[in-house]
Amino acid sequence: MKTLRNTCILVFAICFAGYIAMAQKFYRVHQDNVRPSMMLEYEKVAKEFNEACKMHNVQTQWLTTTMDGFKYLYVSPLENFAQMDERPFADMAKAMGDDFGKLFDRFDKCYDSHGDYIIVLDEELTYMPEGISQTQEGQDYRNYYFIHYTPENSKNLKEAMKGVKDMFASKGSKNYYRIYRTAFGAMDNYYLVAMSSKDDIDSAQKSKANQELLGPERFEVFNQVLNNASKMYEVTGEIRRDLSYAPK
């Protein structure tokens, strides 16, 4: 079993290094599935943790986003495989002593499950002709579209999503989006489409204007995506700058 485990780790490392070599942008995501009844307490602890990180100038960073269903995601850029072995909170934990552990004890009471996985920004499929950015000033509202697929449909789905991007580009659509896909740590394969707006009203207005711009042609193009997806659903969310962190 130990030999098998070491082999799996080696394969993971080689594959990850290969992905990195292709100059793709990877992100480590920590997701907390918070109990609805504990949301206020969870946010209180999260803000205390952020303040402690500022006080100790922890040398890491994350962008926090929330999704429907009381999901909190902490997204950090990942430059290489070795970065996963770093312990950015070690000095902070030593300085805080027992108080550090108590913070996480309070976190643990707020959710039934949490975990980590890695996603990659797919620049080839992303449609942001003016430059790709995770955040846009004044547009912290998010529409997220999860498009799941099976291995046998991966190539066809990718081509279908290229078709969507080509259609948006040919029509000069202003409804920009970023596409992420699962890399490691998730059993299901899926694309995550992220669209930014000011709020839900702005999102609805953008969607309606985009539908009119694309015209009836959009049905055939979008249908190619649907035909190759095993599951698809939408959730909304927002960027939480008050729970995000970057060192000084």
Evaluate whether residue 223 is within a structural domain: yes
Question: Residues for the chain: how many in total?
Answer: 248
Evaluate whether residue 145 is within a structural domain: yes
Q: pLDDT tens-digit profile of 48-81? A: 999 999 999 999 999 999 999 999 999 999 987 6
Q: Which two tokens stand for residue 136?
A: 């846009």
Last residue of a domain, which of 66, 92, 119?
119
Question: Based on the domain organization, do 213 and 164 belong to the same domain?
Answer: yes
Question: Based on the domain organization, do 130 and 232 belong to the same domain?
Answer: yes
Supply the pTM of this predicted model.
0.86
Half-sphere exposure of 240 toward its Cβ, with a 13 Å CA cutoff?
A: 19
Question: Based on the domain organization, do 91 and 149 belong to the same domain?
Answer: no
Evaluate whether residue 39 is within a structural domain: yes
- Average pLDDT estimate for 218-233: 97
**Rounded Cα–Cα distance for residues 4 and 27 (Å):** 27
Evaluate whether residue 2 is within a structural domain: no
**Rounded Cα–Cα distance for residues 65 and 140 (Å):** 9
Range of the domain at 218: 124-238
Q: Domain with 65 in it: what CATH number?
A: 3.30.70.100
Last residue of a domain, which of 119, 145, 163?
119
Evaluate whether residue 14 is within a structural domain: no
For residue 184, give the nearest of 22, 2, 28 by alpha carbon: 28
Least confident of 77-86, 149-158, 175-184: 77-86
Q: What is the 3-state secondary structure (H, E, C) of 127-155?
A: ECCCCCCCCCCCCCEEEEEEEEECHHHHH
Q: pLDDT tens-digit profile of 2-52? A: 555 544 444 444 444 444 444 568 999 999 999 999 999 999 999 999 999
**Rounded Cα–Cα distance for residues 183 and 66 (Å):** 21
Question: Based on the domain organization, do 91 and 130 belong to the same domain?
Answer: no
Per DSSP, what are the bridge partners of residue 64? 74
Question: Based on the domain organization, do 99 and 63 belong to the same domain?
Answer: yes
Question: Based on the domain organization, do 134 and 231 belong to the same domain?
Answer: yes
**Rounded Cα–Cα distance for residues 180 and 84 (Å):** 20
Question: Based on the domain organization, do 115 and 128 belong to the same domain?
Answer: no
Q: pLDDT tens-digit profile of 160-218? A: 999 999 999 999 999 999 999 998 877 789 999 999 999 999 999 999 999 999 999 99
Q: What is the DSSP letter of 36?
A: G
**Rounded Cα–Cα distance for residues 189 and 230 (Å):** 10
Question: Based on the domain organization, do 144 and 129 belong to the same domain?
Answer: yes
pLDDT number for residue 3? 52
Last residue of a domain, which of 59, 85, 119?
119
Evaluate whether residue 15 is within a structural domain: no
Q: How far is CA 136 from CA 78, 171, 198, 204, in A?
A: 21, 22, 10, 18
pLDDT number for residue 247? 93
